Amino acid sequence: MLVLAVGSLPVRRLPFHREVSAMLIVQVIVNWLLLGSLYAAVALGFSLVWGIMNIVNLAHGAFILVGAYTAYWTFTQLHIDPFLGLPLTMLLLFCLGWVVQYVAINRVIRAPFLVTFLLTFGLDLLIADVVQLLFTSDRRSINTAYSGFGLTLGTLHIPFDRLLAALIAVLLTAALSLFLQRTRTGNAILATGMDRDAARLMGIRIDRIYALTFGLGAALAGAAGAMLVELYPFDPSQGGVFTLRAFVIVVLGGLGTPWGALAGGLVFGLAETVVPLLPGIGPGYDDAIAFALMVLVLIFRPRGILGKAFYA
């Protein structure tokens, strides 16, 4: 059975044959789209928080961890399917994010960006350590009844759980975009992102908007974590990896819109699925390629692929 190539995560890679068949190319494209969409979910909340509040949230990976372990806990203890339990996970993470922003980050929001950088780094240490104390540093994974099943068309194989995760990721992107564009609260978030002081003069309670935005960012991170733990084994040391990846994805896609996260996720997925299959490169360079790509994008197009000036 073909197993998806997923970067540095411990899953077997696609075997590379010299005579690349058409089916294999299709399989690689499918793998790329599935992984890229999942990465969009990883970066979505990070992009929102950065775009609206100009905070590079280093605790993003910790939120992903909390989401993953909430899903793991609800699955093993309450026997709720991780995908069905997604709203529950997101609600919990929303509350966590809301409190963190309201109690801590709101107090340094006007400080130079280094201060929020450090504060979120401290929160990351704290949250990841608490998760580790609660769940130990063992690797955990979820095996549902449908794990390993999927659509098979000839040699093409699409696992159900990955397909579902990718669909949910795209759905979340669309939902966030619609929420920001179409609702009053969403417009208030956008307005606060464009001009904090003008928004305040229009009667927007920016402390609440910030708490809401950060809560949404945390909820989206939680959703990504819940989907990741469904697909890959997980342990508490992995939070930082996902913060870094969210970083790269957001830079690649640009800060402008939620769709930027999707674009960035797809480009990042490209570096991880397709590039290792090119002759002469081989596996293992995925992060190096992703980071090199990021530095190049930063230098030649600092706004990213879809980036605009504001989160609009």
**Chain residues in the site for other proteins (CB under 8 A):** 50, 54, 56, 104, 106-119, 121-130, 132-133, 197, 200, 206-207, 210, 240, 244, 247-248, 251, 284-285, 287-288, 291-292, 294-295, 298-299, 302
What number of residues does the chain have? 312
Q: Which is nearer to other proteins, 85 or 264 (CB)?
A: 264
Cβ neighbour number for residue 26 with a 10 Å cutoff: 14
Q: Which two tokens stand for residue 254?
A: 């640009």
Cα 203 to Cα 92: distance, rounded to the nearest angstrom = 29
Give min distance, CB of 110 to other proteins, in A: 5
Cα 1 to Cα 155: distance, rounded to the nearest angstrom = 9
Give min distance, CB of 161 to other proteins, in A: 28
HSE, side-chain direction, 13 A CA sphere, residue 131: 30
Give min distance, CB of 103 to other proteins, in A: 9
3-state secondary structure at position 202? coil
Are 100 and 201 in contact by the 8 Å Cβ rule? The answer is no
Q: Which is nearer to other proteins, 27 or 120 (CB)?
A: 120
Cβ neighbour number for residue 263 with a 10 Å cutoff: 21
Q: Which is nearer to other proteins, 190 or 227 (CB)?
A: 190
For tokens 């002759």, what's the residue? 279
Q: Which is nearer to other proteins, 154 or 203 (CB)?
A: 203
Q: Which is nearer to other proteins, 132 or 147 (CB)?
A: 132
Cα 231 to Cα 155: distance, rounded to the nearest angstrom = 21
Give min distance, CB of 295 to other proteins, in A: 5
Give min distance, CB of 290 to other proteins, in A: 8
Q: Which is nearer to other proteins, 1 or 114 (CB)?
A: 114
Give min distance, CB of 253 to other proteins, in A: 13
For tokens 């590379």, what's the residue? 16
Q: Which is nearer to other proteins, 133 or 167 (CB)?
A: 133
Cβ neighbour number for residue 218 with a 10 Å cutoff: 31
3-state secondary structure at position 158? strand
Give min distance, CB of 302 to other proteins, in A: 6
3-state secondary structure at position 160? helix
Report CA dihedral (38, 57, 89, 107) to the nearest 10 degrees.
Answer: -160
Cα 288 to Cα 293: distance, rounded to the nearest angstrom = 8
Q: Which is nearer to other proteins, 124 or 230 (CB)?
A: 124
Say which DSSP state 57 is in: -
Give min distance, CB of 299 to other proteins, in A: 5
